[in-house]
Amino acid sequence: MNAAQQFVVVKAPLERVYEQWSRIEDLPKFIPPLREVRRIDDAHFSYTWRPNGDDQHGVFHIVLQIPGRRIAWRTMSEGFMSGVVSFEPRFQEETEVTLKIRSIFDPPSLSQRVEEYLRNFKRLVENGEAASAGS
């Protein structure tokens, strides 16, 4: 099992930052290997993921959601992955976003990918720029 944790400071109020992340169907806008996320019910989502060029499908479950503070999830299919994202208000309309992921996938570059996803998220919130699928 591999784990990575990174954080980024987003120049936006906590409410806006949390609201953007909590739109689960929009995760592919800043996590490029995710091709599609669809809501099954309030806590379950199907996804299409292309980590190494081959589409993989699965389901993840939101195991904890504290509005404005934290969202945690885990996959329910083969290939275990879990994560938690936390939001802390900072000074002057800034929010610190911390992302922790545990995964059996991609051991050498997990930390780099987590950092990339947070940079993409920051650009999306601050500038409205979605990451390109080729990233």
- Report the distance separating Cα 48 and Cα 32, nearest Å: 11
> Of the candidates 65, 69, 92, 63, which has an alpha carbon nearest to the alpha carbon of residue 18?
69
Looking at the domain that runs over 2-127, which CATH code has it been given? Answer: 3.30.530.20
Give the model confidence (pLDDT) of 64-118 as tens digits. 999 999 999 998 766 678 999 999 999 889 999 999 998 876 656 888 889 999 9
Backbone angles phi, psi at 49, to 5 degrees: -130, 135
pLDDT given at position 134? 45
Tokens of 56: 């993989």
SS3 24: helix
What does the mean pLDDT of the chain come to? 89
> Is the separation of the CB atoms in 41 and 24 below 8 Å?
no
Structure confidence at residue 10 as a pLDDT band (50, 70, 90): very high
> Is the separation of the CB atoms in 32 and 131 below 8 Å?
yes
pLDDT given at position 108? 65
Structure confidence at residue 42 as a pLDDT band (50, 70, 90): very high
> Is the separation of the CB atoms in 123 and 129 below 8 Å?
yes
> Is the separation of the CB atoms in 103 and 117 below 8 Å?
no
Where in the chain are the domains? 2-127
